[in-house]
Amino acid sequence: MSAPVLQPRSSAPAGAGRGTGAEVVIDAVSKSYSGTQVLNDVSLTVAAGEVVTLIGPSGSGKSTLLRTVNHLETVDSGSVTVGGEYIGYALRGGALHELPEREVLRRRTKVGLVFQHFNLFPHLTAVENIAIAPVSLKRLSQAEATERARALLARVGLEGHGDKFPRQLSGGQQQRVAIARALALEPEVLLFDEPTSALDPELVGEVLEVIREVAGDGTTLLIVTHEIGFAREVSDRIVFLDGGEIVEQGTPEQILSHPTQQRTRDFVSRVL
Ligand code: ADP
Ligand code: MG
């Protein structure tokens, strides 16, 4: 692994965002795409501050499940709450009703998402990428947001890179900017969907190091990853998904070393 990229926690810059996690309750969620069931009655509660990793074969529904947590995917039935609040819906007369877009956006900012492909704005610098949401949501002035963005860049080991555009940064650096951008809204929950899958192998370590650090700060984390060694080290719990269902879950030791289900055993033996 490359040299440490992070500041020690004790010297993290003021205002660089320390999380307070919220509980996530996924309750009996089902979802189909044109007749094909992608999630089948999935229930999963993630405690405030817990780090849960989703593993499973390609097409097992990991991304879809993750995306229901910030309402990038709607559900056909069941519900998702974050900190006790429905993200895309309101309960009225015993039924869930989709909220107006404005309210969905407000609630969604509690949940940050880091994608496989960074999705930075190419025409904005690193600092601008991080500062844009807090400013457009009127949380911070431009000056405050810029100062905070620089502190967040230091937190992810990118001090001095703030005025570069994404194309001037390596993939690992871009993904660290994307993590800083997610942290800028002080999310209670952070979702990572294969955050290192698009990176050259030598850049994976620096991104995992940043996620490892965020994992220790109290924010609730739901991570989809194929980095099994990392999952073992960072997770409080690992959830194995197959065919849109939770097959088995437990501590890393239980799932990776002593799985009880044949499907888990088969998957784990393929990826370890
Ligand atoms: P994973 O992340 O575990 O690879 P996904 O959640 O991306 O799985 O996908 C689960 C299944 O749902 C796959 O069969 C996939 O083809 C299908 N799927 C995902 N998104 C869509 C979509 N927008 N339209 C149709 N099918 C989809
Ligand atoms: Mg996926």
d(CA 188, CA 112): 8
Helix (H) or strand (E) holding 11: none
* Cβ-proximal residues to 176 (8 Å cutoff; 6+ apart), any chain: 5, 156, 157, 158, 206, 207, 210
pLDDT band at 100 (very low <50, low <70, confident <90, very high): confident
Residue in this structure with the two tokens 């080290």, named with its chain if needed: 233
DSSP per-residue string spanning 122-186: TTS-HHHHHHHHHHHTTSS-HHHHHHHHHHHHHHTT-TT-TT--GGGS-HHHHHHHHHHHHHTT-
Beta carbon of 38 within 6 Å of any ligand 1 atom: yes
pLDDT band at 167 (very low <50, low <70, confident <90, very high): very high
| For the chain, domain boundaries | 120-186
Residue 98 has pLDDT above 50, yes or no: yes
**Of the candidate ranges 13-17, 27-31, 184-188, 207-211, the one whose mean pLDDT is the lowest:** 13-17
Residue type at position 191:
L
pLDDT tens readout for residues 32-69: 999 999 999 999 999 999 999 999 999 999 999 999 99
pLDDT computed for residue 154 by the predictor: 96
Compare 39 and 17 and report the one with higher pLDDT. Answer: 39
pLDDT computed for residue 61 by the predictor: 98
Mean pLDDT of 138-167: 96
d(CA 75, CA 104): 14
Beta carbon of 121 within 6 Å of any ligand 1 atom: no
pLDDT tens readout for residues 168-199: 999 999 999 999 999 999 999 999 999 999 99
pLDDT computed for residue 9 by the predictor: 38
Beta carbon of 33 within 6 Å of any ligand 1 atom: yes
pLDDT computed for residue 193 by the predictor: 97
pLDDT tens readout for residues 61-97: 999 999 999 999 999 999 999 999 988 888 888 888 8
Mean pLDDT of 131-155: 95
From 30, 31, 36, 38, mutation site for ligand 1 pocket: most ligand atoms within 8 A of C-beta: 38
pLDDT computed for residue 105 by the predictor: 83
Mean pLDDT of 11-34: 78
Beta carbon of 61 within 6 Å of any ligand 1 atom: yes
* Tokens describing residue 138: 């009127």
pLDDT tens readout for residues 208-251: 999 999 998 899 999 999 999 999 999 999 999 999 999 999 99
Angle at CA of residue 204, ends 203 and 209, nearest 5°: 110
pTM, full prediction? 0.91
Nearest ligand to the C-alpha atom of residue 241: 1
ipTM for the assembly? 0.97
pLDDT computed for residue 68 by the predictor: 95
Distance (angstroms) between ligand 1 centre and the Cα of 160 equals 39
